[in-house]
Each structure stands twice: as C-alpha cells, then as structure tokens.
Amino acid sequence: MKAMLLTKPALIETAPLQLTELPIPEIGDDELLIRVSACGVCHTDLHIIEGELPSVKLPIIPGHQVVGTVEKVGSAVTSFKVGERVGVPWLYEICGKCEFCLKGAENLCVNARFTGRDVNGGYAEFIVTKARFTYRLSHLSDLSDIAVAPLLCAGVIGFRALRMTGLKQGESLGLYGFGASAHIVLQLASAQDAKVYVFTRSKEHQELASSLGAKWVGHPDQSPPQLMDSAIIFAPAGELVPLALKRLKKGGRLILAGIHMSPIPQMPYSLLYDEREIKSVANSTPDDVRDFLKLAGEVQIKTITTVFPLEQANQALQLLKQGRINGSAVLSMR
C-alpha cells in the first residue's frame, strides 16, 4: 500500500513525509482493516511531524480524521461487516482500568493511545483500527467522504469545546482562529441562535466566517460589539488568552481547544477576576464522537474543504502552517 511516512521529526518546510510502499497490515481479533478514502489534515499532525508533540512510534504514518470502508473484520468482531462506511478519530484505544476510564473520562486515560501518533494513521491506503473505537457513518449518506473527514477531529473537538463553554440559547460566543474546527463550531452555535464573533487575521478566513453567519468578524486586537458570554481559542497562540479574557463578561468562560499552545504571557489578575474561567480541552471521549456525529446529521453541517492527493501531504501541511487553508484540508486516496 502507499503511505506518507515520517521517519524523523522535522520542519514541514523540509517535506519530511516520504511516499512509501508498505505491506497491507494484518489485523488482530478485535480489529478492522479499513480501506481509506479520505483523511483530514490537522494541526495536531503538524505538531507531531515537527516534534512539538513527540511521537511514541517512529517511523509513523500520521493522520486521524479517517473515512473509509471496512475491508476485513477480526474474528472477535460482530459489530461491523465488510463494506460498511466508517470513520476513525484521534482516540485509538484506552485501558478501561485507570481512574479516569472508570469515571467516564476516557479522554484523560493515562494509558491512551492515539491514531497517527502511537499507531499508524490515515495518510495511507489502509489503516488498522480497534472496532470499539470505529464509528458508523451510514446516517451521513448525504455527505461525501471528503466532507465527512474533518468532522472526525476538527468537528468532534470543536463540539467538545462548545459544550464546555456552557453556551445557552441566544448567548454570545467568540472564536479565535478560524480554521477547520471553528468553521464547524460557528454552524453549531448558530443553530442555538448564538451571536458569534470571529477573531482572525486572515482576510479569506474573515470572509468565510461572514458567509457562514458570523455576526461580527475582526482582527484579534479589535473589540466586538459587546462583551461575550464565552469564547474558544483554536489558534495555538498563548498571547490570545489575555485578549480573550478582556472581552468576556463577568462569569465568562474561556476554552483553550488546541493540543499545543505557545506560552501564555504574564497578565494582571483583574482579567481573571469576577469568576471568569479558563479551561483546556484534552482529546475526546467515544460519547463525544457519537453525540457529535448524530448532531452533525441533524444540523446538516457543511464543511469547506481543499482536497489534495495523498502524495501532496507535505504541501497541504505547509499551507496549513501558513494559515492558507480555508476550512479544512483533506487528503484523497482516490
């Protein structure tokens, strides 16, 4: 099979992913072999490739927003059949025994393994997954595989971040950075009649936000029409934290949705006072994936995508790093 393989972390400008021919992998009793049709390109992939998030396994095939069809089923698997359309997200496997797993916080499992970091991911023609952490996509039949791929991480993490804000009907929400996650969250929040304010430096991203229903768009240094009930920072930029806190109402909540962020600068306590909160998002639970995929069908989420062939994964990631992808980048295997 063809795969984009990382043998050593390096800056994406050096094109460290190499197109490689590998054997189709074998599966275990509780696993599935999936023929990949599309895989979303995520900032987390970029952090792994550049060494900001060290990979446990090298060489590694990145990618964790995978859509495909079941090619082979393990002997102990009864929940899937060959030919079914499925999706694979970031969380690959949990231990099920630690204190976090036992209280339903599987996203915090101390022994968790992640797709495209600890095991080979979806930048390939085939991927092996655990059946328990693979999800049916039959209810999203109106969406192409390309359109569905960003839902499996950008969408799921955005959904978890939005739930963590506690946003109520008609409240105001700020989104800092307007990429794959934010353009989905804007649609989810709009379905709750929220007033969504988008902060982004990119003119193209500002135009996309306006077209998707944002009530106001502007530069991160600018102030929205009113103080906000809550905000989510998607950009991996710690300097945005004091800017966002400054624009929150008393009791407002700020969610940090990135898996990696530059240092947060020193700031006055007054920005956090009045019971404002800061909370981070760490991964997602299986319930997050199921709940979001169900909601995505009901709300009829529209993903904006730029498609690249598998062998252009380096170029896609370079454009992502430069902020030149509108919506989501997706690799196509067809």
Q: pLDDT tens, 183-199?
A: 999 999 999 999 999 99
pLDDT computed for residue 97 by the predictor: 96
Interatomic CA distance for residues 19 and 311, integer angstroms: 6
Interatomic CA distance for residues 5 and 269, integer angstroms: 46
Interatomic CA distance for residues 229 and 86, integer angstroms: 36
Report the percent of the chain where pLDDT is more than 90: 96
Q: pLDDT tens, 249-289?
A: 999 999 999 998 999 999 999 999 999 999 999 999 999 99
| Residue among 15, 14, 114 at smallest CA distance from 55 | 114
- Confidence band for 7, pLDDT divided at 50, 70 and 90: very high
Residue 263's Cβ-count burial label (10 Å; 0-12, 13-18, 19+) is: exposed
* Mean pLDDT within 307-315: 98
| Residue among 233, 324, 315, 316 at smallest CA distance from 281 | 233
Interatomic CA distance for residues 51 and 9, integer angstroms: 5
- Confidence band for 54, pLDDT divided at 50, 70 and 90: confident
With contact defined as beta carbons under 8 Å apart, do 48 and 109 qualify?
Answer: no
What single letter denotes the amino acid at residue 227?
L
Q: pLDDT tens, 312-332?
A: 999 999 999 999 999 999 999
Instruction: Tell me yes or no: is domain 155-280 CATH 3.40.50.720.
Output: yes
Mean pLDDT of the chain: 96
Is the pLDDT reported for residue 8 higher than 90? yes
With contact defined as beta carbons under 8 Å apart, do 236 and 52 qualify?
Answer: no
Is the pLDDT reported for residue 53 higher than 90? no
* Mean pLDDT within 112-130: 97
Rg (CA), the chain: 19
Is the pLDDT reported for residue 334 higher than 90? no
> Beta-carbon neighbour count of residue 83 at 10 Å?
9
Alpha-carbon distances, residue 104 vs 113, 141, 155, 287 (angstroms): 16, 30, 21, 9
pTM here is: 0.94
CATH fold match for the domains 2-153+283-332 and 155-280:
no
Is the pLDDT reported for residue 56 higher than 80? no
pLDDT computed for residue 66 by the predictor: 98
With contact defined as beta carbons under 8 Å apart, do 281 and 164 qualify?
Answer: yes
Residue 266's Cβ-count burial label (10 Å; 0-12, 13-18, 19+) is: exposed
SS3 of the chain: CEEEEECCCCCHHHCCEEEEECCCCCCCCCEEEEEEEEEEECHHHHHHHCCCCCCCCCCECCCCCEEEEEEEECCCCCCCCCCCEEEECCEEECCCCCHHHHCCCHHHCCCCEEECCCECCCCECEEEEEHHHCEECHHHCCCCHHHHHHHHCHHHHHHHHHHHHCCCCCCEEEEECCCHHHHHHHHHHHCCCCEEEEECCCHHHHHHHHHCCCCEEECCCCCCCCCEEEEEECCCCCCHHHHHHHCEEEEEEEEECCCCCCCCCCCCHHHCCCCCEEEECCCCCHHHHHHHHHHHHHHCCCCCEEEEEHHHHHHHHHHHHCCCCCCEEEEECC
Locate 255 and state its tokens.
């969610």
Task: Please state the domain extents for the chain.
Answer: 2-153+283-332, 155-280
What single letter denotes the amino acid at residue 207?
E
| Residue among 150, 137, 133, 116 at smallest CA distance from 3 | 116
Q: pLDDT tens, 61-98?
A: 999 999 999 999 999 999 999 999 999 999 999 999 99
Is the pLDDT reported for residue 55 higher than 80? no
* Domain 2-153+283-332, CATH homologous superfamily name and number: Medium-chain alcohol dehydrogenases, catalytic domain (3.90.180.10)
Interatomic CA distance for residues 303 and 143, integer angstroms: 9
